[in-house]
Amino acid sequence: MTRRTLVVLALGAFVTTLDNTIVAAGAPSIGRDLALDLGALQWIALGYMLPFAGLLLVAGALVDRWGRRRTLTAALLAFGAGATAGGFAGTLWLLVAARVLQGVAAAFLVPGLLSLLRTNLDARGRTLGAAVWTACLAAALALGPALGGALSEYLGWGWIFFVNLPFVAAMLVLLPATAPPGRAGGTRAPPLGAMAAVTASLVLLTTALAEPRFAQPLFAAGAVLGAGFVVRERRARERLVPAALTGNRVFAGSLGLQLLWGLGISGVFFFTPLLHQEFLGLGPVGAGLPLAGVAVAVVAATPLVPVAVARAGPHRTVAAGLAVVGAGLLTLAAVNHLPQLWPRVPGLVLIGAGSACTVPMTSHALDVVAERHAGTASGLLTAARELSSALGVALIGVVLTSVRGARLASGAPAGAALAGGYTAGLLTAAGLTLAGALLAPRVLRDRPGVFSSPHDKRTVP
């Protein structure tokens, strides 16, 4: 059970994150074939991220109610269908619709898989499982652009979607022996009003950043719906998010740190291959390949994380990891004016090594929740990360395009203007990540009994 669970977790973490990053290096090829500008290309990424982030909270709760095996099977089939449609798409709107289907499927797939950490593994296994999950997530984050560039250059950009299908097939084979049948969270009907309100709020708030022309009304509508959801949750007898989760300091702190880490990483990584092509003059493969250094650093540093947690505690380990990520972003900013590739490698390695040390944001957050809330907790944790991914692309996109526009207006060459916008994005991301490093010692500090649940003494080997 343990080995199969780890394999399924690894495949799921990799393929769902891969769909966030693989389009980055393929975006220029898609843009040329479909005659799209930078703003339209951004929606190919956001078409996946918005439903993914917006539905995760709802999906996590539904996984607990509907059962993991049934929900995961349906999500995998939908994910594969979206990948197939995306590969054959010939227009922007068909491509975005396929990405939306994949995003909806991933919203159910990720919390269902991540909840297996809580239901299938003991405390030691959860630390290992969270490390595997984070390593595969980071590997996909780093390798996605390189793989997307290679597929786009040699096989055509449709293959950046078809490549998902072998992962889906493998997980469908392993799922019956991994995901338990039946329900985990009772049979009561889910609160539909709360589900609709929180999903619409998350989508509207994220879209407000991606569409500056309509930012004010979108943000206002999202804020109103979000406030209504919070008021409803406080008064309702049947809550979408159990009070046992919202009232837990460590769990709530982990959510905030996930947001800051994702904001600092995702937007930068989305625009990095574009910079490498337009400023450094690299091809699609060469533009994405340097990000493989991040994956190598994650894999190399991951075995050290349990030792660091045992000696320094989760709060110091996460704080150090976020500080190293911030240092890596600042290192990239310091050398970004140079039109060479190799000066950028040290910064990328620092980002990978630091990201590996953020594993306790997931493993210890799941340690403090009862098994019956595993799906909801996993959905919340992943929602924080994926919402921050969408917000990161939108936020860094706004910073990058604003600074680039100002540089172009002042007469700077196109490549140099893009580099200036990218530097501003790096500095923004570094500030957010370093803020997380300062918060981590406060919100994740151990307290007696905080990592045990009085409602769930049993573990599943």
Structure-model confidence comparison of residues 335 and 187, the more confident one: 335
Question: In the block, which residue shows the tokens 């337009």?
Answer: 278
State whether the Cα torsion 7-11-17-22 is positive or negative: positive
The rounded distance, in Å, linking the Cα atoms of 107 and 95 is: 18
The pair of structure tokens assigned to 360 is: 């306790």
Domain chopping of the chain, boundaries = 2-179+192-443
Question: Could you tell me if 108 and 144 are in contact, meaning their C-beta atoms sit under 8 angstroms apart?
Answer: no
Domain 2-179+192-443 falls in which CATH fold? Growth Hormone; Chain: A; (1.20.1250)
How many contiguous H segments (helices) and E segments (strands) does the chain have? Answer: 20, 0
Residue 81 reports pLDDT greater than 70: yes
Identity (one letter) of the amino acid at 129? G
Question: Could you tell me if 274 and 27 are in contact, meaning their C-beta atoms sit under 8 angstroms apart?
Answer: yes
| Angle, CA of 59, 217 and 266, to the nearest 5° | 50
Q: Tell me the mean pLDDT in the region 31-45.
A: 79
Nearest to 374 by CA among 191, 261, 233, 251: 251
Nearest to 453 by CA among 201, 123, 141: 123
Q: Tell me the mean pLDDT in the region 419-434.
A: 94
Integer-rounded Cα radius of gyration of the chain: 21
Confidence band of 451 (pLDDT split at 50, 70, 90): very low
- The pLDDT of residue 430 is 94
The rounded distance, in Å, linking the Cα atoms of 396 and 252 is: 25
Q: How far from the centroid of its chain's Cα atoms is residue 374's Cα? A: 18
Put simply, whether the predicted model's pTM sits higher than 0.85 gets the answer no
Q: Tell me the mean pLDDT in the region 246-271.
A: 81
- Looking at every residue in the chain, the average pLDDT score rounds to 82
The rounded distance, in Å, linking the Cα atoms of 256 and 196 is: 23
Q: Tell me the mean pLDDT in the region 105-124.
A: 82
The pair of structure tokens assigned to 380 is: 């919340």
Q: Tell me the mean pLDDT in the region 66-73.
A: 84
Residue 324 reports pLDDT greater than 90: yes
pLDDT digits (tens, 9 = 90+) for 194-249: 888 888 887 887 777 666 677 789 889 988 998 988 888 888 777 777 777 877 78
Q: Tell me the mean pLDDT in the region 298-315.
A: 85
